[in-house]
Amino acid sequence: VSGCCAKNLTGKKITDKFISDILSNSDETKYFVSPFRKSHFYGGNYTYICAASVTDPVNPSKTVGGIGAVFDSDAQLRHMLEQAKPDGEKSFCALTDKSGGIILSTRGDMPAGTKLGVPERFFKTEKGKPLSEILAYDNMYYAVGCACLPDCGALVFVFKAIAAYGAAAAEGSCGMLVSQSDISLAENEAHSKLVSFVVSGRLAAVEEKDVVESVDSGGIINIPESNELIRGAVVYKNRFVPVIDTHMLFGGKEKAPPAPHLLIIRLPGGMLAAMEADQLNNVLEVNESDIKPIPDIGKDKSIIKGVVCFENAGRQLMLVINHNVLPERMDKDILNADFTNVLPFLEKIKGKKKAGADK
């Protein structure tokens, strides 16, 4: 043992499968990396061990032992987390196991062994499928991204601080509407006009220039085998327009009943789509600098491009939707479909539903 602090390990028998693989290997060019887990070689903390087989110099096909290097994970991973930490005093990163136990964090009040207090769905994140959401955590709103590390299953969390929230927001008053009088506009600054609405208890908005109009949601026709984000289609000015299930768009796990309102919006390329809204709010003019951008997590662009925190409305938070990402989240076949070609089929379905309702 090279480290004097590990002399007590001399003579200790190791029975891990990782060690068995090393001792049964005779290929000198092959090396092994242990699973990322707690190790008595590293004071009972999480680490990797890189190792290779040692063969008999006279008989190279005979393995006589192994040699390994213990990765100084605390120093190295801490450096990686510090490099990944977003700007902002309250922003931080954490590394956890699959049960949420903290392995390492950039916050001094999050020691190893304590649990990261985020929803359980984050700990079910799969490899290659990062998850990102807006969360209220420790008196702050955060854009939270989570990714599963390859080969070891540990989870990396990135917390980007957005804004502080007060007691009213913490109690879940997301349905509270905001008026223009709650907003202080700066004279020498660019402004944006946003059409705001409530969906799944959250205040959301899209840019006014992308909204055609709002309509009632009656008459939605189901589209068989469509993307889970597609509620169906609705007739708008003699054309069929796909209806987006906004509840599912914001991470809902189960289908909710149809919302009473639809916002007809323009998508890139001149396409139209209808977004569901539980309640319509006002058209709000805000300072562009008040729209705090949300970083993209993983390869997928975030459906939320920014958030606005209204200090004069109980620190209410409004999510600004990036409508340019919608085509990527929806079936392109649905978006590009000429619904005129399937009009008889859709009308037939609609007619059957109406007949059933009349009975």
Q: Which residue has the higher pLDDT, 283 or 229?
A: 283
Residue 295: per-residue pLDDT: 63
pLDDT at residue 267 is higher than 80: yes
Q: Which residue is associated with the tokens 């991204």?
A: 145
Separation between Cα atoms, residue 77 and residue 104, nearest integer Å: 8
pLDDT bucket at 167, cuts 50 / 70 / 90: very low
**pLDDT of 265 above 90:** yes
- The C-alpha angle 35, 41, 45, rounded to 5 degrees, equals 65
Helix (H) or strand (E) holding 277: strand 272-277
Which tens digit of pLDDT belongs to each residue from 79-97?
Answer: 989 998 988 888 999 999 8
Residue 326 three-state SS? helix
- Mean pLDDT in residue range 199-225: 87
| Helix locations, the chain, DSSP H | 17-23, 73-84, 167-170, 246-249, 326-329, 332-335, 343-358
| Mean predicted confidence (pLDDT) in 299-304 | 68
Of 175, 183, 192, which is closest to residue 280 (Cα–Cα)? Answer: 175
End-to-end CA distance of the chain: 83
Backbone phi and psi for residue 94, each to the nearest 5 degrees, phi listed first: -145, 150
Residue 350, pLDDT above cutoff 70: no
Domains of the chain by range and CATH? 4-71 (no CATH), 74-164 (3.30.450.20), 173-358 (2.40.50.180)
Average pLDDT for the chain: 79
Structure tokens at 182: 């709650």
Angle at CA of residue 131, ends 194 and 227, nearest 5°: 70
Give the pLDDT mean for 216-229. Answer: 80
pLDDT for the residue numbered 215:
92
Residue type, 352: K
**pTM score over 0.75:** no
Mean pLDDT (whole number) for 153-177: 63
Whole-number Å distance between alpha carbons of 223 and 225: 7
Distance CA 211, CA 250 (A): 19
d(Cα 262, Cα 242) in Å, to the nearest integer? 11
Could you tell me the strand order of the sheet in which 31-33 lies? 31-33, 49-55, 63-70
**Alpha carbon of 119 to those of 131, 134, 140, 175, 212: distances in Å?**
12, 12, 16, 21, 36
Q: Which of 126-135, 260-269, 291-300 has the highest mean pLDDT?
A: 260-269
- Give the mean model confidence (pLDDT) for residues 305-319: 75
Cβ contacts of 227 within 8 Å, gap of 6 or more? 329, 330, 331, 334
Nearest to 310 by CA among 165, 188, 198, 197: 165
